[in-house]
Amino acid sequence: MSSQGRPLKGLFDPGSVAVIGASSTEGKIGHTLLKNIVTSGYEGDIYPINIKGGEAFGIEFLTSVDDLPDGVDLAVIAIPAKFVKDSLKGCGKRGVKHAIIISSGFSEVGNVEMEEDLVSIAEDYGMRLLGPNVFGVYSSTADLNATFGPAKVRKGNIALISQSGALGIAMIGMTAEQYLGLSAIVSVGNKSDIDDMDLVDHFAHDHESEVIMIYMEGLPKGREFLEKVKDMPDDKAIVAIKAGRSEKGATAVASHTGSLAGSDRIFSAAFEQGGILRAKDLREAFDWSRLISSTVLPEREKTVIITNGGGIGVLAADAAEEYGVPLLDDQTFLKETFSDTIPPFGSTKNPIDLTGQAGREEYEKAMRAALESDEVGAVVGLYCETGVTDPMETAEVMKTLYEEYKDDKPMVFTFTGGEFVNECVEWLRKERVPAFIETDDAISSMGALFKRKRFIKRMKDGVVSERIDLDIEKIEEVINDVREAGRTTLLEDEARRIIENVGIPMAEGKVVSSLEECIDVAEDIGYPVVLKVVSEDIIHKTEAGGLVLDLENREELIDAYQAIYSNCKSKYPDAHIRGISVAEMLHGGEEVIVGGTNDPSFGPVVMFGLGGVYVEVLKDVVFRVAPVTRKEATRMMGDINAFPVLVGARGQKRKDLGALSEVIYKLSHLMYEVEDISEIDLNPVKAFDQGKGCKAVDVAITLKREAV
């Protein structure tokens, strides 16, 4: 359902709340709802309604919606589905502007029409609807707990949006237990009106919320979501848990790109691109939110780890490498700054090892030195339980320092040991200090913070993606011819025309239909040449024996021509062979793949990676939502495992990365601009040495199937 686009203030800061389906019987949802609202500290007017009347918590129930005063801000409806419509109508007549429909039994069980009726009523009365099938809303702004979940919610600056009602309720309890403070919690239910994007939009502009944590299972309007997120202020962050990692998305087997583009990979890529921090599970999401909501972004990319144990320091250093937390490694500076904070047998090598006897004074001295230094961007304090120091004293120091410097530098603290040490962590968390038991969790959270920082910096470098020069008319001409022929797969010469139109360089070549023509073209291009079968029915040419490389003279050419026809006819007797492509043989260079496909959530996406015949075995590819900027195209290259090969490993020369990024950039725009295209594979693209450009060797383009 599409959003009606009006603000949601009344949902999260209502002046008055009606509870339709309120109950005086303990254990009923209507009773818990009312109880939570009353005991949460809400100061607005509360109007419980039950057709049978009643009383609870000192409030007399109304018996009809019609008895409501004019202009109640929010109605929370928790009655059987069949009665919701009339109640909603009644609310509309009384001028209610927002309704939360807790009731289930609508589209989630197939009653789509019933739900559409509700939306219709809401539209008629200018009302916003949350649900149906939700657990309600908590909002710290209004001190309102209009949910049937746990009553106890800690106030804070994390807004929690959940696509799962049950998990959302569980998260209320979890956050409270872990001392995470919430500004709001809401489930989206059936999204008949208000959806994730409306909520993200609201929280992005809500002063109470600094982190938006989202649990999601699907995102149909992924691209729109990314657009919304891009407009978020820098001081907000989104932490998302996207369930369904093992889900096999619908894949098109027509191309390598299609078969590699599992939906989860695209989600990760899209989130990365949009600056959304994707946590692998709830714990990670909570950890990251804990830190991000309680600190500033690092000014510099240098972190110092201060520890009283060498072992835990090493673990932290390992984790720092894994999570992209760069450690300050200027040994001269480290020595100058920290040598008088450690005993002679300590270490200033980062992690700074204060040794096992370090107590509050030693920690304070070392940490203050780090926090005061302009060279240091972030600080990690690690404490290992010893028999000679009091962990609580160290915890108190950390709290003091945190409160003093929290607006200057991000800090995390870990306490490793037994029960007493864990109590220190609990105490620190209660005091809103970002403390952890596991070192890995602490560093991972710091990593998330750095990721966020880097993303903001990248956005400041420029997000505008220029349009490229496309002769759309010529491209559409090719596409129309293909469609008229009843195909969706372009033949090589057709695909070549489109690719060359965009300015992507291709190996010189032509499709021929006779041996004579083949010889003429080959000798025109110059040996060595490559021969490839051209047939929409033969996708994997190598396996069909339809591809022969490096033909150096006429004799070899003639034999290869015959072999291709013979192989393809015997392997694919029903295939329509339209000709043989003759192309220049490109020696040298590294083989990469550049491709495009369409994701159900995010639309056109572009792929880059190590190419050639083993692309689907090695799977060293990365994705981005199209179109990308030239800078983003360059970053894509840096993200593949084989990147060192491109920059020159083992004595090899650096490849022309500028030319490659241009291909990625242009292909991404082609995918974006030409909606008819379903998939594109340029595989391989040969990347030559710096200054010598690149060329696509093979191209495959598939069109979207037209709706019947």
Partner 1 sequence: MKNIIISSTEADAGKTTIGMGIALSSKKKFNYFKPFGDRPIYKKKRLIDYDAKLFKNILELDVEYEKFCIGFDHSKIKYAFDEDTIKQKIVERIDELSKGKDGVIIETGEDWRFGSSVSLDPASLYGMLDAEIIIVACGTRTNIVDDLAAVARYFDALDIPIKGAVLNKVESEEDIKNFAVKDIEDMGLKVLGIVPEIKEFDLTSVEFINDMLFGKVVAGHTGLNNIVENVFVGALSVDEMLRNPNYFKKRKLMVTGGDRSDVILASLEEGTSGVILTNDIIPPSNIISKADRAGIPLIVVPLDTYEAAKRIERMESITTIEDDYKIEKIKEKVTTRLNIDL
Residues engaged in binding partner 1 (CB under 8 A):
514-516, 519, 540, 542-545, 548, 550-552, 556, 558-563, 565-567, 570-571, 616-617
Shorter beta-carbon distance to partner 1: residue 318 or 616: 616
Shorter beta-carbon distance to partner 1: residue 52 or 248: 248
Residues 141, 17 contacting (CB under 8 angstroms): no
Shorter beta-carbon distance to partner 1: residue 299 or 537: 537
Shorter beta-carbon distance to partner 1: residue 539 or 703: 539
Q: Counting Cβ atoms within 10 Å, is residue 82 exposed (0-12), middle (13-18) or buried (19+)?
A: exposed
Query: Closest distance between partner 1 and the C-beta of residue 79, in Å?
Result: 49
Query: Closest distance between partner 1 and the C-beta of residue 623, in Å?
Result: 21
Residues 11, 74 contacting (CB under 8 angstroms): yes
CA–CA distances in Å: residue 679 to residues 256, 259, 478, 594: 9, 10, 15, 11
Q: How far apart are CA 467 and CA 673, in angstroms?
A: 9
What is the tally of helices (H) and strands (E) in the chain? Answer: 25, 29
Q: Counting Cβ atoms within 10 Å, is residue 51 exposed (0-12), middle (13-18) or buried (19+)?
A: middle
Shorter beta-carbon distance to partner 1: residue 512 or 677: 512
Shorter beta-carbon distance to partner 1: residue 57 or 565: 565
Query: Closest distance between partner 1 and the C-beta of residue 575, in Å?
Result: 12
Shorter beta-carbon distance to partner 1: residue 473 or 516: 516
Residues 479, 668 contacting (CB under 8 angstroms): no
Shorter beta-carbon distance to partner 1: residue 125 or 565: 565
Q: Counting Cβ atoms within 10 Å, is residue 178 exposed (0-12), middle (13-18) or buried (19+)?
A: middle
Q: How far apart are CA 225 and CA 274, in angstroms?
A: 9
Query: Closest distance between partner 1 and the C-beta of residue 618, in Å?
Result: 12
Shorter beta-carbon distance to partner 1: residue 340 or 616: 616
Query: Closest distance between partner 1 and the C-beta of residue 52, in Å?
Result: 58
Paired residues of 530 in beta bridges: 583
Query: Closest distance between partner 1 and the C-beta of residue 688, in Å?
Result: 25
Shorter beta-carbon distance to partner 1: residue 39 or 562: 562
- What is the Cα Rg of the chain in Å? 31
Shorter beta-carbon distance to partner 1: residue 180 or 564: 564
Query: Closest distance between partner 1 and the C-beta of residue 567, in Å?
Result: 7
Query: Closest distance between partner 1 and the C-beta of residue 514, in Å?
Result: 6
Shorter beta-carbon distance to partner 1: residue 50 or 567: 567
Q: How far apart are CA 658 and CA 480, in angstroms?
A: 33
Name the nearest CA neighbour of 106 among 126, 75, 90, 130: 130
Query: Closest distance between partner 1 and the C-beta of residue 697, in Å?
Result: 18
Shorter beta-carbon distance to partner 1: residue 39 or 514: 514
Tokens read off for 186: 């809401």
Whether cis (ω within 30° of 0) applies to the bond prior to 391 is: no
> DSSP letters along 232-268, please?
S-TT-EEEEEE--TT------TTSHHHHH--HHHHHH
> Which run of H or of E encompasses 696?
strand 694-696
Residue 60: strand, helix, or coil: strand
Query: Closest distance between partner 1 and the C-beta of residue 620, in Å?
Result: 16
Query: Closest distance between partner 1 and the C-beta of residue 562, in Å?
Result: 4
Q: How far apart are CA 674 and CA 667, in angstroms?
A: 10
Shorter beta-carbon distance to partner 1: residue 403 or 543: 543
Q: Backbone phi, then psi, for 352, in 5-degree steps?
A: -80, 120
Name the nearest CA neighbour of 498 among 522, 517, 480, 474: 474
Residue 55: how many other CB atoms lie within 10 Å: 12
Query: Closest distance between partner 1 and the C-beta of residue 619, in Å?
Result: 12
Shorter beta-carbon distance to partner 1: residue 518 or 586: 518
Specify the pairing of strand 144-147 against strand 211-216: unpaired
Taking every pair of Cα atoms in the chain, the longest distance, rounded to a whole number of angstroms, is 100
Query: Which sign, positive or negative, has the C-alpha torsion 629, 634, 637, 638?
Result: negative
Query: Closest distance between partner 1 and the C-beta of residue 523, in Å?
Result: 14
Query: Closest distance between partner 1 and the C-beta of residue 261, in Å?
Result: 16
Residue 680: how many other CB atoms lie within 10 Å: 29
Query: Closest distance between partner 1 and the C-beta of residue 565, in Å?
Result: 6
Shorter beta-carbon distance to partner 1: residue 145 or 567: 567
Query: Closest distance between partner 1 and the C-beta of residue 258, in Å?
Result: 14
Query: Closest distance between partner 1 and the C-beta of residue 563, in Å?
Result: 4
Q: How far apart are CA 160 and CA 239, in angstroms?
A: 9
Name the nearest CA neighbour of 152 among 178, 117, 126: 178
> DSSP letters along 614-673, please?
THHHH--EEEEESS--HHHHHHHHHHSTTHHHHH--TTPPPB-HHHHHHHHHHHHHHHHH
CA–CA distances in Å: residue 520 to residues 145, 494, 563, 564, 565: 80, 21, 19, 18, 18
Q: What is the separation of C-alpha 28 from the centre of its chain, rounded to a whole number of angstroms?
A: 38
Shorter beta-carbon distance to partner 1: residue 170 or 558: 558
In what order do the strands lie in the sheet containing 529-534? 509-512, 579-584, 529-534, 547-551
Name the nearest CA neighbour of 294 among 440, 159, 410: 410
